[in-house]
Structure 1
């Protein structure tokens, strides 16, 4: 933990410092990716989604429906671009649908 300083900081700066000091980025990124997937794809796709995992730069999506998996596979690159745009950083480079 940092020592106190007398300079003023915004709450967002303090939280960023806390997250980086305690190495919490990976966990927060995983939670954020799950939330963004559910929001981005809507309730219809979310109902058929079993699991969303981020391992390294690869996003693994487990789906219950083979036709849905096939349909989404045609737009993998667009999904990756949309996810990264919502995350605000280049976090996902590969998408695997299972």
Structure 2
């Protein structure tokens, strides 16, 4: 059973403690990265995105358009920076476009 405190804690503090105690943060990061990609890149890029996968600190993005993949490869550093800012922490260190 979880310990019970008599202190009054906010729900956000309790959720953070729960996530930390159960080591759920990596799974939440994977979901948040997918959402951030969809939001930051827009419908034009999302239509050609077939798969997004976060492994450790590398984001793998599979695209169905070779032209778009080449175009995005020129701005990898900017994309990483935008996604990390959207997430609020440095989750992504490397971007691999497939």
TM range (shorter): over 0.9
**Runs (5+) with no aligned partner, structure 1:** none
Q: For residue 6 of structure 2, give the secondary structure of its aligned residue in structure 1.
A: coil
Q: Which residue of structure 1 lines up, in the alignment, with residue 12 of structure 2?
A: 12
The match for 2:43 is 43
Number of aligned residue pairs: 98
Aligned to 1:55: 55
- 1:26-62 deviation line (CA, Å, top 9, x unaligned): 1100000000000100111101001111100000000
Normalising by structure 1, what TM-score? 0.97
Deviation, structure 1 residue 2: 3.2
SS at match of 1:51: strand
- Matched position secondary structure for 1:96: strand
Aligned residue in 2 for 1:82: 82
Question: Deviation string for 1:74-98 (max 9, x for gaps)?
Answer: 0000000001101111110000000
**Structure 2 counterpart of 1:32:** 32
What displacement does 1:6 show?
A: 0.4
Q: Unaligned stretches of 5+ in structure 2?
A: none
Give, in whole Å, the separation in 2 of the partners of 1:50 and 1:69: 12
| Distance (Å, rounded) in 1 between the aligned partners of 2:80 and 2:44 | 19
